[in-house]
Amino acid sequence: MLKKTIVISNTPSSDIKWLEYINEENILNGLNAIEVNQIKEAKNIGKLLYKYQLFDIFVFSKSKQVLNTIYKIYPYSRLVYMPETFNSLVDLSKDTFSHNAHTVCLKATALSSSMVRHLKLYGLVVFAYVEKQTDIYQAVLAGVDGLYGKQIDRKQIDVKGDYAFTPFVIAHRGYHANAQENSLKAAAEAVRMRSDFVELDFHMTKDKHIVVNHDDTLGRTYEKDYVIRKDTLKSLQSIKMTFKGELTDEVLPTLPMFHRHLKDTKTSLLIEAKTASSTSMKRLNRIVNQMDRPPLLMSFYPFALVNFKKYVKGYSRGFLIDLENNHMSVSDIIKISNKYNLIIHPYFSHSKSNLIEILKKRAIQYCPWGLRNDIDLRKTFLSGYYGINTDESIRFKDFVKYLVVKTKYTYYIGDTLSLTATTDTGKELVCDIEMLYQNPLGLEIQQNQITHATLDGMAYAYLTYTVKTDLVNYTLMSDLIQIEVKRANHE
């Protein structure tokens, strides 16, 4: 698990060195992290970053004004927002993206796998600020992307499992084995497959409606071949969608129709822009602002990324790219990811395996598409990427996504205590109990129950459950569990 979590600290085993003393000499020394909370200091740091073109440095701050100041001076900086308070996870997400960051750093003591999963569903990278060993375990078991703090020793962190929650499954154009791609029925089928996202494509009509279709014309999937940008919505919806040569009851859907269709489900939207105009982005912003949870945005078009950031500020953005045929350097990809706060969506098949490790070390989210077979799906799932964009979302239908547990127990010595877990769908599971800190209270475990303890005090544990499917086997870990051990005769 920890291989998928980067460590930012002042120890030799850290992935990124945390600079507590900022000067020209040590800021130039490799991939580093600094914390800046004052405007005057932010201006000086921004100028230093600009002077030496230091895009490979994490800049942490509790101040949104500091983030904006540094971004204005040097927009290729990797900015990390450290809010002390926030109203809701949705507000935190929009606030972070609106202030030129796509990474948050929260206190580990406040984190749970549910919180981290939701923030990542909104497209954020999540770090945890840790002060003691228990914080580290709480953060790692919550599924964070990175740890930030003093004296973090990677070698001392030992957890048994693959995931706190599984990579997100994205139904490419909906699940369209039994329905036309980019149709409301395909979206409903994706929900039935328990997909985390429905990916869809949007264009703008002549009368400025945002509609969902892959091609810029309708001929491939409708009964007639109309050009979307040259026709009104009324005209475009006068014809029927087809599926396998037969007419259906569906017409060209608008983006708001998809939102209403998915509103009461657990499935979100990943929206690909097939147009980059400022008008289409302004229209898109009006629509997504009315959605009950933030969608993810992405495009192949660089100008769309510019206009996403300009007009659709509070949402995650992604860059679709074919790494094999694109001549961007690693530095270019890191810089645009920092500037436009991007998830990278590469075509699955490429020969640049070193790039993946470079992006992972920088906690840049990576979400491949174009996966065609079980070998591709298995490899991607086990690699711990952000998500899997596939036509075969049915292959993940029965996967357990995460464990739901009670995080605080009281155990009286001599009694029997069961630590229980359910799946994300509410099914009860029999899990293994894993004790932390080498079980200092001497808790005895038989048949996954605590049956005795030698000492009273506070013990820490987590549960694991191995999911076995015909595609892949993997082990889920629960949140950190606190067990207060007491003697039965204590009042």
- Residue 24: the pLDDT is 65
Same domain, 221 and 362: yes
Residue 163 resides in a domain: no
Same domain, 108 and 185: no
Name the residue range of residue 481's domain. 403-486
Per-residue pLDDT reduced to its tens digit, 412-427: 999 999 999 999 999 9
Burial class (CB in 10 A: 0-12, 13-18, 19+), 295: buried
CATH of residue 58's domain is 3.20.20.190
Residue 383 resides in a domain: yes
Q: What is the pTM of this model?
A: 0.96
Count of CB atoms situated within 10 Å of the CB of 131: 13
Same domain, 386 and 410: no
Same domain, 350 and 413: no
* Domain end marker among 98, 129, 156: 156
Average pLDDT over every residue of 13-27? 78
Per-residue pLDDT reduced to its tens digit, 316-333: 999 999 988 888 888 999
Same domain, 407 and 332: no
Same domain, 104 and 248: no
Average pLDDT over every residue of 445-473? 96
Question: Number of folded domains in the chain?
Answer: 3
- Residue 198: the pLDDT is 98
Per-residue pLDDT reduced to its tens digit, 334-382: 999 999 999 999 999 888 878 888 999 999 999 999 988 999 999 999 9
Same domain, 298 and 428: no
Mean pLDDT score across all residues of the chain: 94
Count of CB atoms situated within 10 Å of the CB of 308: 28
* Domain end marker among 396, 413, 431: 396
Per-residue pLDDT reduced to its tens digit, 462-483: 999 999 999 999 999 999 999 9
Same domain, 210 and 129: no
- Residue 23: the pLDDT is 66
The DSSP result for 71-133, as a single string, is HHH-TTSEEEE--S--S-HHHHHHHHHHTT-SEEEEEGGG--HHHHHHHHHTT-EEEEE-SSH
Same domain, 456 and 313: no
* Domain end marker among 127, 156, 185: 156
Average pLDDT over every residue of 174-178? 96
Helices 255-262, 184-192: inter-axial angle, 10-degree rounding:
30
Same domain, 312 and 442: no
CATH of residue 478's domain is 2.60.40.10
Residue 161 resides in a domain: no
Residue 152 has pLDDT above 90, yes or no: yes
For 329, the 3-state DSSP assignment is: coil
Cα distances (Å, whole numbers) of residue 399 to 63, 168, 276, 423, 468: 40, 11, 37, 10, 9
Looking at the chain, the whole-number percentage of residues with pLDDT higher than 70 is: 97
Residue 162 resides in a domain: no
Residue 48 resides in a domain: yes
- Residue 265: the pLDDT is 96
Residue 491 resides in a domain: no
- Residue 2: the pLDDT is 52
